Structure 1
Amino acid sequence: MIPPAFLCAGQGGQHPAMFGPLAQAPEAEPVFAAAASLLGEDPRSLVARPGADLFSGRVAQILCCTQALAGWAALAPARGVLAGYSIGELAAWGCAGIFDAPTTLRLAATRAELMQDAAPPGHGLAAILGLDRATLDPLLTAHGAVIAIVNAADHVVIGGADEELAALCEAALARGAGRAVRLPVAVPAHTPFLQDAVSPFAAALRAAGPRPPRPGLRLLGGLDGRPVFDLDAGIDALARQLAAPINWAACLDGCAASGATRVLELGPGRALAHMAAPLFPAGAARALEEFRSLAGITGWLAG
């Protein structure tokens, strides 16, 4: 059977029912326990608590990694391609076995703290859809903003100062953008504004004792979508992506080029499956949270 591709999501898709069928999976219990030790509360009760802040940096990054690691533990794929979006790339490293689940979650907390410390106040991210780069680039220059993530030729995430992002979104809509919105992320991730976080995070990754990926798994790097063959170079790239743009379009191309014919987004959310859908046959890109049971997911993967 051709191995499927698994996508680990970034921040933004957290919601009260995000763990879905994973919540009762015995295989995922160690992941939830490790997350609880960092959050001070079981993540399953945290996300369901009315008024809980699921989007602050440290909590959000731990929750996103918890979701991916719990899904991976419950499904236990023997083979596959792994790609992760922003914090999802760290989760993908955990799924690949380079770090165990508790270590991956501790690194997620460290990553969030380093990013928060490095971020200039009053900065964040916005998404722009429907503008080509020839139209967008002058707006970026005029408002001191930069590309953070390339999702597609006309779908990018940008980082900059809050007031400038608001003005840029307004200008983008006036020039024909289909969508231009602020994202619930309070730091300008994947931009040079976070350069001071790169070296400390690289040091934390190396100190955590990385191991080679498990056999049968292909891990793609977020900066260029290429397979990670050299662990030391991969660590440098994983740290560098805090201050350099992610090429998610290249990651999706890498999944397709691997020969995968099915894609499962581990979540939270469905955004990555939606972006992957045009590259795969109809119905071949789905999100874990679309299923009511783990048996349904494994049956679909084997389909």
Structure 2
Amino acid sequence: MTLAILCSGQGGQHRDMFALTGDAPEATHLFAHAATLLGGWDPRDFVRSESDEALHRNRSGQILCTLQALAAAAGLRDIIPHGAIIAGYSVGEVAAWGVGDLFEPVLTLDLAVRRAEAMDAATCAGDGLIFVRGLSHDDMTRLCERHGAAIAIVNPGDAFVIGGGREALNGIAGEARAMRATRIVDLPVRVASHTGRLAEASIVFREVLRTAPVAFPSAAGARILSGIDGGSVVSAETGHDKLAAQISQTVQWGNCLQSCLEAGATAFLEFGPGHALSRMVASIEPGLPVRALDDFRSLQGVRNWLARHLSD
């Protein structure tokens, strides 16, 4: 079996997101470090006590999502097979570098913070994202050109995340509704991620990455995918270029999933929070074993599932 690990982006944060990973002794130091980044709040208390708005704020959201992936990897390290394929959705791509042992885990959390801060500094009031399903890529491109927005993420099944200012997003939502789009959702993210509006943030983050220690190639033999084209990371330098560029360029998530399949992935595990990525895989390859961490009641349950499919 070849395992593909999917590291989730923002949007799925919830009160119980650390139910499986919060007590993993291997992740204790990660939760302690994340607490220093959250102003002293233990992340496990933060998600249970803070408002939904605080959970989805850009900086805190990127910390929480990155922490979840790293904590899951720490707790499952001894059963994750050598040579896993790892892909990350939005900030999940930073987490993927940590899960794949290219970045040291504590450094990965620090980089997620620097990324979020660069994005916040480049963001204009009212910027955000919407999700649209059911229109063609050409239709979405025309709508974005007409309203001055951009396609931020291309998902499988004619599903798109669109980034821009509030007036542009409202205009696109209205027209998409009239064109009978099947689903339109205002996402709880207040930055126009993966669009040219964050070009300055890409420049800033690339400078941050220039001094970040990286262990390439991965000692775990992991194959890390780049979000902007679905290609494998072939060197630290080009990988850093793409990791910074995806802040302000379209993420081709459909290509990433296709690359996982072409690389021989026979099972998929989403680290979460949420189930969005595993559901995408199930929609395009319904016969494959696909689960999300949030599907299980314990890490032992995840271990049992992995052991069963690793032996297939």
For normalisation by structure 2, the TM-score amounts to 0.94
Counterpart in the other structure of 2:57: 56
Provide the secondary structure at the position in 2 that maps to 1:21: coil
Equivalent residue letter for 1:38:
L
Match of 2:223 among 188, 194, 218: 218
Mapping for residues 48-197 of structure 1, pairs under 5 Å: 48-51=48-51, 53-76=54-77, 77-79=80-82, 80-197=84-201
Alignment correspondent of 2:301: 296
Encode CA deviations 1:161-202: one digit per residue, 9 max, x unaligned. 102201211210110100112111111010000001112101
Distance 1:283 1:246 in 2: 24
Q: Which amino acid aligns with 1:258?
A: A
Give 1:135 deviation, angstroms: 2.5
| Alignment RMSD (CA, Å) | 1.3
Residue identity matched to 1:65 = T
State the Cα distance separating 1:149 from its structure 2 match.
0.5
Kept in 2: contact 1:125–1:188 (CA 8 A): yes
SS at 1:264's partner residue?
strand
Q: 1:256-267, aligned counterparts within 5 Å?
A: 256-267=261-272
- Matched residues in 2 for 1:99 and 1:299: separation? 28
Say whether the 8 Å CA contact 1:267–1:287 is kept in structure 2. Answer: yes
Question: 1:251 deviation in Å?
Answer: 0.5
Per the TM alignment, residue 120 of structure 1 is displaced from its structure 2 partner at its CA by: 2.1
Cα distance, 1:302 vs. partner?
2.1
Structure 1 counterpart of 2:273? 268
**TM-score of the two chains, using structure 1 as the length reference:** 0.96
Contact 2:156 2:284 in 1 (8 A): no
Per-residue CA deviation, residues 201-230 of structure 1 (Å, 9 max, x unaligned), is: 011112121111223211111111111111
Deviation of residue 96 (structure 1)?
Answer: 1.0
Note the alpha carbon deviations across 1:79-103, whole angstroms, 9 max, x for none.
2110000000000001111111111
Distance 2:270 2:174 in 1: 32
For the Cα contact (< 8 Å) 1:86–1:222, is it kept in 2?
yes
* 1:50 Cα deviation from its structure 2 partner: 4.8
The C-alpha deviation readout for 1:238-262, integer Å capped at 9, x for no partner, is 0001110000001101111121111
Task: Provide the C-alpha distance between the structure 2 equivalents of 1:137 and 1:159, rounded to a whole number of angstroms.
Answer: 12
Q: 1:261–1:280: 8 Å Cα contact kept in structure 2?
A: no
Unaligned runs of 5+ in 1: none
Alpha-carbon distance in 1 for matches of 2:56, 2:287: 32
Q: Which residue number in structure 2 is paired with residue 7 of structure 1?
A: 6
Give the whole-Å Cα distance in 2 for the aligned partners of 1:51 and 1:215: 38
Secondary structure of residue in 2 paired with 1:126: strand
1:20 and 1:255 map into 2 onto residues whose CA distance is 28
Preserved CA contact (<8 Å) 1:166 1:182: no
Distance 1:38 1:188, change over 3 A: same
SS in 1 for 2:96: helix
Which segments of 5 or more consecutive residues in structure 2 lack a partner in the other structure? none
Q: Conserved in 1, the CA contact under 8 Å of 2:266 and 2:288?
A: no
**1:148·1:158 contact (CA, 8 Å) conserved in 2?**
yes
* Contact 2:271-2:293 at 8 Å conserved across structures: yes
Question: Does the CA-based 8 Å contact 2:98-2:104 persist in structure 1?
Answer: yes
CA distance in 1, matches of 2:91, 2:35: 18
Deviation sequence 1:54-100 (CA, Å, 0-9, x none)? 01111000000000000000000242110000000000001111111
C-alpha separation in 1, matches of 2:203 and 2:143: 31
Give me the identity figure in percent: 45
**Alpha-carbon separation, structure 1, partners of 2:257 and 2:194:** 18
Show structure 1 runs of 4+ deviating over 6 A. Answer: none
How many residues were matched structurally?
302
Aligned amino acid, residue 194 of structure 1: L
